[in-house]
């Protein structure tokens, strides 16, 4: 796993010092090495920070070029079918100089062009410069596991793994996007393709970008989840899922260095340890917990670690200060209101003392119906009078979207609430439909449960959870691999009828049927719990008062001070958490 960066400017020569500055800003993503490539005309440059896993020799150094020196790549990620693709490319006559998956992408581009993306299994973000065409090719994996940001102003195109990499380039100027500021309070993140800065964009998941020689930029999707309503036998579904997951875990373990695993004591991470045991791999495992909490994650993780004899490490937090968010707003670049940012960062820090990579269970809840809000949705039942009235009303927001927006909110910010929060001069930055991003991924043609699952994959997981995991781990030079997020598993699930993979009274049916008998009953019968601490950890009113009584957001005329006092008086800790995160972010970056 690595940090990538680059700059293309057809009007003005690129300075190597700018690429070095970008590299330095992302050093945490790749402490094992660095490199810079600048083409002869000094119009295109790529930079790279290396965290090495495959071919630890100098042959794996990036940016990497094809044999003719005309095609260069800077790449961040892991391609889990790289050995199979390498064999295919060698059969086509391509000769390899390293044992890396990077070179597989390079030759794959030469063989198949942009279609190489449809052949890759894994997580990735890369920038590829084609000197023949004078074109830049950027791409991001199907789920958005790996990040990629870009800036395009006045002919100057700059990209990086993290916004701090872009902002380190002195040719970049940014202004706070107040529409994104408002969006954050609605979603707990800034939705793609926007960022917190007006001039910086995220490349959406499952998309690629081409910057042409005339300066024109094209962004295209290369993959969408395929939907169907197939029915297969329960036995066939269970066995098919087992084979797909076993293969995914096995290929995710490919590395020239040891791969550990997060272990929360829930279904997903425990299942990964079990699946690793099936091909003889005993990982180091890492858990985090809280003192004086009888459902703390580490208590359950210990049971699994003992059963599978892992080299287990538990970090148990006491009354840990929430002031760590001052550092996390640097880590995350953008405000991220997920309440598990702190434990995720700390368990990553603990794991990085022992290993360079771990596996984690993201994706299982989205694919297999693990969240309560997925299970609890009930369609709106209109009375006859309401049905008749609805005929004459303008189109209303679907009930399912209202439900989903409330389920995601953790302290709802609708238009009235945003107007209380913001200074009146800023009301024009509030979207007329603050839930616009939920609408953009809602597919009314799907069954309700599947429609919610898709929004979870594209939005909650894709925009918030995966960003949290990537930044928290990479800030500690740790790679996180997510074997449930295999596109073949995703495509298999979403082409089934929901009653094939979902049982109301059984947690994650296809997974449960494969792990029962292999994990402690305490794990199998445990109620779903997010990777968070006890509520009391986030209900520290004196802490909120100390952070917000002298608010810079209020002093700068962005946030209404009376509203903050109202939240403090009513002890509205979830809304206060969002405000406190934004306050810390604003102080650090503005």
- Which residues belong to the active site? 2
Answer yes or no: are the C-beta atoms of 443 and 452 closer than 8 Å: no
The DSSP annotation for 250-319 comes to HHHT--SS-EEEE--SSHHHHHHHHHHHTTT---EEEEEEETT-TT-HHHHHHHHHHHHT-EEEEEEESS
Answer yes or no: are the C-beta atoms of 362 and 370 closer than 8 Å: no
Tokens describing residue 473: 């781990």
Q: What angle do CA 422, 338, 183 make, to 5 degrees?
A: 35
Backbone dihedral angles phi then psi of residue 421, each to the nearest 5 degrees? -70, -50
Tokens describing residue 44: 């295109």
Q: CA of 316: how far to CAs of 132, 145, 289, 307, 473, in Å? A: 55, 28, 5, 21, 18
Question: In the chain, how long is the greatest CA-to-CA distance?
Answer: 74
- Spacing of C-alpha 472 from chain mean position: 11
Burial class (CB in 10 A: 0-12, 13-18, 19+), 280: exposed
Answer yes or no: are the C-beta atoms of 520 and 303 closer than 8 Å: yes
- Coil, helix or strand at residue 190: coil
Indicate the DSSP class of residue 478. Answer: -
Other beta carbons within 10 Å of 93: 8
Kindly report the length of the chain.
Answer: 590
Q: CA of 22: how far to CAs of 75, 162, 208, 257, 473, in Å? A: 15, 10, 22, 27, 19
Answer yes or no: are the C-beta atoms of 308 and 277 closer than 8 Å: yes
Among 131, 191, 197, residue whose Cα is nearest residue 158: 197
Answer yes or no: are the C-beta atoms of 286 and 262 closer than 8 Å: yes
Backbone dihedral angles phi then psi of residue 376, each to the nearest 5 degrees? -90, -10
Non-local (6+) Cβ contacts of 563 within 8 A are 420, 421
The torsion of the CA quartet 445, 447, 450, 454, rounded to 10 degrees, works out to: 20
Answer yes or no: are the C-beta atoms of 116 and 94 closer than 8 Å: no
Tokens describing residue 569: 């008086």
Non-local (6+) Cβ contacts of 316 within 8 A are 288, 289, 290, 291, 296, 298
Among 219, 158, 161, 123, residue whose Cα is nearest residue 462: 123
- Coil, helix or strand at residue 78: strand
Tokens describing residue 84: 């199979």
Answer yes or no: are the C-beta atoms of 14 and 42 closer than 8 Å: yes
Q: Show the DSSP H helices in 377-517 as ranges.
A: 384-392, 399-409, 415-421, 436-441, 448-455, 466-474, 487-494, 498-501, 509-515
């Amino acid at each position: 796993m690595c940090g990538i960066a680059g700059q293309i400017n057809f009007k003005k020569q690129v300075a190597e010092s700018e690429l070095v500055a970008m590299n330095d800003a992302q050093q945490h993503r790749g402490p094992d090495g660095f490199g810079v490539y600048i083409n002869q005309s000094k119009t295109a440059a790529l930079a790279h920070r290396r965290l090495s896993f495959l071919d630890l020799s100098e042959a794996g150094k990036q940016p990497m070029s094809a044999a003719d020196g005309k095609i260069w790549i800077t790449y961040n990620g892991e391609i889990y079918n790289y050995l199979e693709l390498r064999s295919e490319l060698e059969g086509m006559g391509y000769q390899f100089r390293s044992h890396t998956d990077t070179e597989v992408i390079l030759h794959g581009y030469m063989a198949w062009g942009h279609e190489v993306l449809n052949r890759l299994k894994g997580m990735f973000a890369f920038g590829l410069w084609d000197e023949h065409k004078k074109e830049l090719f950027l791409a991001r994996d199907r789920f958005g596991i790996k990040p990629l940001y870009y800036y395009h102003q006045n002919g100057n195109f700059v990209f990086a793994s993290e916004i701090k990499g872009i902002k380190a380039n002195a040719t970049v100027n940014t202004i706070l996007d107040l529409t994104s500021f408002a969006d954050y309070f609605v979603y707990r993140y800034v939705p793609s393709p926007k960022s917190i800065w007006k001039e910086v964009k995220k490349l959406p998941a499952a998309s690629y970008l081409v910057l042409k020689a005339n300066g024109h930029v094209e962004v295209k999707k290369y993959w969408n989840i395929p939907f169907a309503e197939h029915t297969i036998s329960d036995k066939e579904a269970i066995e098919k899922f087992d084979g797909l997951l076993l293969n995914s875990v096995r290929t995710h373990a490919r590395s020239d260095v040891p791969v550990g695993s997060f272990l929360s004591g829930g279904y997903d991470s425990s299942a990964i340890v079990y699946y690793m045991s099936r091909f003889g791999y005993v990982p180091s495992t890492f858990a985090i917990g809280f003192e004086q909490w009888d459902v703390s994650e580490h208590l359950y993780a210990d049971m699994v670690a003992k059963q599978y004899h892992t080299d287990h490490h538990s970090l148990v937090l006491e009354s840990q200060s929430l002031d760590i968010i001052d550092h996390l707003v640097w880590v995350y670049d953008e405000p991220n209101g997920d309440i598990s940012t702190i434990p995720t960062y700390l368990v990553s820090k603990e794991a990085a003392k022992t290993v360079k990579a771990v596996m984690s269970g993201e994706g299982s809840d989205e694919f297999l119906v693990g969240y309560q809000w997925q299970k609890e949705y009930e369609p709106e039942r209109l009375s006859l009078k309401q049905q008749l009235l609805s005929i004459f009303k303008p189109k209303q927001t679907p009930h399912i979207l209202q439900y989903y927006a409330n389920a995601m909110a953790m302290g709802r910010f609708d238009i009235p609430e945003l107007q209380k929060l913001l200074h009146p001069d800023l009301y024009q930055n509030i979207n007329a439909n603050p839930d616009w991003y939920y609408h953009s991924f809602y597919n009314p043609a799907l069954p309700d449960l599947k429609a919610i699952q898709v929004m979870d994959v594209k939005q909650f997981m894709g925009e918030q959870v995966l960003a949290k995991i990537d930044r928290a781990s990479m800030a500690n030079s740790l790679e996180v691999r997510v074997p449930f997020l295999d596109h073949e598993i995703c495509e298999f699930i979403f082409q089934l009828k929901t009653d094939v993979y979902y049982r109301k009274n059984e947690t994650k049916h296809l997974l449960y049927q494969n792990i029962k008998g292999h994990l402690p009953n305490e794990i199998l019968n445990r109620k779903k719990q997010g990777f968070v601490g006890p509520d009391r950890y986030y209900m520290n009113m004196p802490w909120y008062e100390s952070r917000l009584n002298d608010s810079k957001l209020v002093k700068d005329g962005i946030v209404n001070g009376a509203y903050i006092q109202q939240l403090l008086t009513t002890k509205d800790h979830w809304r206060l958490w969002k405000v406190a995160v934004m306050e810390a972010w604003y102080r650090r970056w503005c």
